[in-house]
């Protein structure tokens, strides 16, 4: 339960977690858990539920003057975590992808999500890696699916860098520039939940559309 409580607390208020790390680890080592969480979320297909968007936003808030983090270092650390995480995910899939899928141990890697990502790759090609950066769960599975044979590594790396830099820059800099606004400070948890909700919305809409399409198909076949 300790791990579950940690994740729930991080999802609810990443600001408290970062504040604790700054005090406990100091100005240098505080970047270690930040790097690891983003790297694991994007790099290990078993952990798609880790908070990426909200953590980036909260780190951006702490990167403003007097917050305890340096905005340049924060950006570089997250750039590295996001890009290296996706790269790790790609190569894990290259070597072990079919075995992981066949094992059924990744419950979140449903046939519906795989089919959705397949259609994304068919429609958008390499841009799928950029688009899914802004979609929780899908950003973890997209490089995994790319590694199963959808994309050459050189092409993947090109879009991986673009997507990683765009994703990190957006959320960190929004937190950096707007995190000090009194309204944001007073309603931080609500705003974080809003960020999570907006991030999940495209996947939720896609799931509803898929369900409606399946129902229509079932009715036509009757």
- Where along the chain do its domains lie? 2-221
Angle at 42 between CA 89 and CA 28, to 5 degrees: 115
Structure tokens at 7: 């994740």
Rounded distance, CA 163 to CA 106, Å?
24
Rounded to an integer, the average pLDDT of 103-125 is 73
Where is pLDDT greater, at 84 or 17?
84
- For residue 107, the Cα-to-chain-centroid distance in whole angstroms is 17
Rounded distance, CA 53 to CA 221, Å?
41
Q: Quick one: residue 149, left, alpha or beta (phi over 0 = left, psi -120 to 50 = alpha)?
A: left
CB under 8 Å to 136, separation ≥6 — which residues? 48, 49, 52, 53, 196, 199, 200, 203
pLDDT (tens digit per residue) in 43-74: 887 776 777 888 899 999 999 878 899 999 99
pLDDT (tens digit per residue) in 161-218: 999 999 999 999 988 988 777 777 666 666 666 666 655 555 555 555 555 555 665 5
State the pTM of this model.
0.80
């Amino acid at each position: 339960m300790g791990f579950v409580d940690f994740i729930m607390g991080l999802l609810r208020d990443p600001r408290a977690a970062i504040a604790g790390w700054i005090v406990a680890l100091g100005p240098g080592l505080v970047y270690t858990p930040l790097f690891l969480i983003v790297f694991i979320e994007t790099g290990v297909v078993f952990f798609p539920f880790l908070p990426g968007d909200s953590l980036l936003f909260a780190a951006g808030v702490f990167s403003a003057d007097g917050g305890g983090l340096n905005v340049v270092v924060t950006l570089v650390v997250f750039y590295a975590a996001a890009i290296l995480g996706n790269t790790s995910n790609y190569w894990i899939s290259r070597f072990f992808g079919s075995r992981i899928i066949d094992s059924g141990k990744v419950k979140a890697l449903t046939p519906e999500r795989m089919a959705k990502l397949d259609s994304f790759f068919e429609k958008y090609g390499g841009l799928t890696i950029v688009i899914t950066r802004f979609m929780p769960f899908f950003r973890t599975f997209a490089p995994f699916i790319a590694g199963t044979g959808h994309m050459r590594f050189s092409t993947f790396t090109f879009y991986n860098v673009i997507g990683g830099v765009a994703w990190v820059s957006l959320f960190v800099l929004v937190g950096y520039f707007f995190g000090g606004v009194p309204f944001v400070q007073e309603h931080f948890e609500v705003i974080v939940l809003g960020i999570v909700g907006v991030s999940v919305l495209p996947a939720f809409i896609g799931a509803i559309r898929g369900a409606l399409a399946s129902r229509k198909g079932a009715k036509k076949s009757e």
